[in-house]
Amino acid sequence: MSEKTYSGLPRKEIEWYPRINYDLCTGCGVCVEFCHDHVYEKQGDKVVVARPYDCLVSCESCRPRCPVGAISFPSRKELKQTLRALREKYGYEQVKEVKTQ
């Protein structure tokens, strides 16, 4: 199985995934039911981010569905900075090559 990528960049190096504020989370499971990528999982009464790197980069669709506002993501600014740094690290040409394979 090949490593997951986002625009040719290693997905494991892009820290874009939901964070759960457990002071707010009620464990209702709305996020578990909503997420088609199975990022969340119910563990007992608690919801956890079980597969963070399965989250689609820049997707925040689950956040507004949380009835108590317990889900957050990095800022768009942080995401842009991360992607820019990774493009520099791997070089635009390498990213271009990976995308065309």
pLDDT digit string, tens, across residues 40-49: 999 999 999 9
Whether the CA torsion 29, 30, 34, 40 is positive or negative: it is negative
pLDDT of 13-27, one tens digit each?
A: 999 999 999 999 999
> Residue range 83-94: average pLDDT?
84
**How many Cβ atoms are within 10 Å of 35's Cβ, its own excluded?**
21
Question: How many Cα atoms sit within 13 Å of 79 on the Cβ side?
Answer: 14
How far apart CA 26 and CA 45 sit, in angstroms, is 8
Instruction: For the domain made up of 5-78, give the CATH fold.
Output: Alpha-Beta Plaits (3.30.70)
**Three-state secondary structure call for residue 18:** coil
Name the helix (H) or strand (E) containing 71.
strand 71-72
> Residue range 93-101: average pLDDT?
49
The more confidently predicted of residues 37 and 98 is 37
Q: Residue 76: is it exposed, middle or buried by C-beta count within 10 angstroms (0-12/13-18/19+)?
A: exposed
Q: pLDDT value at position 82?
A: 96
What residues does each domain of the chain span?
5-78
Q: pLDDT value at position 93?
A: 55
**How many Cβ atoms are within 10 Å of 13's Cβ, its own excluded?**
15
In the predicted model, is pLDDT for residue 29 greater than 90? yes
pLDDT of 52-82, one tens digit each?
A: 999 999 999 999 999 999 999 999 999 999 9
Q: pLDDT value at position 91?
A: 86
